[in-house]
Amino acid sequence: MALTSLLSASDLDRRTAVELLDLAEEMATVAGREVKKLPALRGRTVVNLFFEDSTRTRISFEAAAKRLSADVINFAAKGSSVSKGESLQDTAQTLAAMGVDGVVVRHPGSGAPHRLAQAGWLEAPIINAGDGTHEHPTQALLDAFTLRRVLHGEPASGAAGTGADGKDLAGATVMIVGDVLHSRVARSNVRTLHTLGASVVLVAPATLLPWGVESWPCQVRYDLDEAIAEFAPDAVMMLRIQLERMHQAFFPNAREYTRLWGLSAARLHALPADAWVMHPGPMNRGVEISAAAADSPRALVLDQVANGVAVRMATLYHLLTGEDSH
C-alpha cells in the first residue's frame, strides 16, 4: 500500500514493510559512492521539527534528506517561538505557509504527530521520529533492516548484495529486554517484527511493563536467565533505562537492575553462539549492557546507526514521491 505519512509501525503491512526494506538496500549503495548523492528529491524541502533533544535521529534524517538532494531545515523548540508559548497548530501552519514538502516530527507528547496529520494543518507527509512513550517507527524499520541482513548472511551495514531482498524475518526469535514501559522503540519493534513474521519476547520487571501488554503480539517473561534458556533467541535488544521519564521508583537501584536484567558477560556467553546483540542507543554501559556485550563482535549497535540513514532515505523517498524504487 502507498503510505501518505508514517506515524506508527501499525501503518505498515508485510508487503509495504518489505518494499521499504528492499528500497533501503538500494539506498545503502549510495554510501559507498564517491559522491553520496541522488537527485531524487532535488527542489523539495524537508523540515526536521524536533520538540525534544536528539542526536542520532535528527542527524540521520538530515543526512538522509541531503543524500536525496532535498533542502533541509532543522527546527529546534529551544530558541524558537515555541519557548514563547507558540502552539503546535501555529508552528505547523507557519511551516505550511512556507510550502514545505515533508515534515519529520519528534515530540515529548504521545500522539503529537497523529494530531498534526489528522488536523489538516499540513498537507505534507509526516514522519513520526518519536512521540513520547508511544512509537518510533523508523527505528523499528532500521532494526528490522539490520536483522534481516545478518540473518540472511549479508554484511550488517554498508553496501551489500541482494541476498535479503524480498525476504522477511519469519522464523526468527527476537528478545527485547528492559524498560518497555517508557520505550517507544519497544512498541514499534514489537509491531514491526511481528508484521515481518518474527517471534518477539519481552523480558522486564513487572513494574517496567505497560498496562495491556498481554494483548501485544508477543510473549512476556520476567526472568532473563530463564528466558534465554527457554527461547535461545536469534537476537537480543537491550533497552535503556529512561530515568528522565521516571517519576517514581520502578526498581530498587541500578546495581540490582543490572544483576537481574543486564546483559552481562556471563549472559552474553549463555546466548546461542550466533545470537546478535542490539541496542537503539544511547547505551548506559554497566547498567543494561556490559562493555563485553557492547563491544562484542556480535554487537550491531553501530550498524543500526549506519543503516538508519538508508532506511530514512527509503522512507522519505517513498513518502515524497509515492514510488517504491528509483
56 is in an annotated binding site: yes
125 is in an annotated binding site: no
Backbone phi, then psi, for 287, in 5-degree steps? Answer: -110, -85
281 is in an annotated binding site: yes
Q: Name the one residue in this structure whose C-alpha cell is 502552539.
A: 87
152 is in an annotated binding site: no
Nearest-10 Cα torsion for 207, 212, 217, 218 = 20
Q: Name the one residue in this structure whose C-alpha cell is 539490520.
A: 146
255 is in an annotated binding site: no
User: How far, in Å, CA of 168 to CA of 162, rounded?
Assistant: 13
**Closest Cα to residue 167, out of 141, 183, 148, 180?**
148
Q: What is the 3-state secondary structure (H, E, C) of 72-109?
A: EEEEECCCCHHHHCCCHHHHHHHHHHCCCCEEEEEECC
Q: Please report, as a single letter, which amino acid is at residue 173.
A: T
Q: Please report, as a single letter, which amino acid is at residue 188.
A: S
184 is in an annotated binding site: yes
User: How far, in Å, CA of 94 to CA of 207, rounded?
Assistant: 42
279 is in an annotated binding site: no
45 is in an annotated binding site: no
Backbone phi, then psi, for 119, in 5-degree steps? Answer: -75, -20
**Closest Cα to residue 265, out of 283, 229, 291, 230?**
291
139 is in an annotated binding site: yes
**Closest Cα to residue 233, out of 308, 309, 175?**
175
Instruction: Evaluate whether 148 touches 21 at the Cβ level (below 8 Å).
Output: yes
297 is in an annotated binding site: no
Instruction: Evaluate whether 287 touches 262 at the Cβ level (below 8 Å).
Output: yes
Which run of H or E residues covers position 187? helix 184-195
Q: Please report, as a single letter, which amino acid is at residue 46.
A: V
Annotated binding site for L-aspartate, which residues? 84, 184, 240
Annotated binding site for carbamoyl phosphate, which residues? 56-57, 106, 136, 139, 281-282
Annotated binding site, which residues? 56-57, 84, 106, 136, 139, 184, 240, 281-282
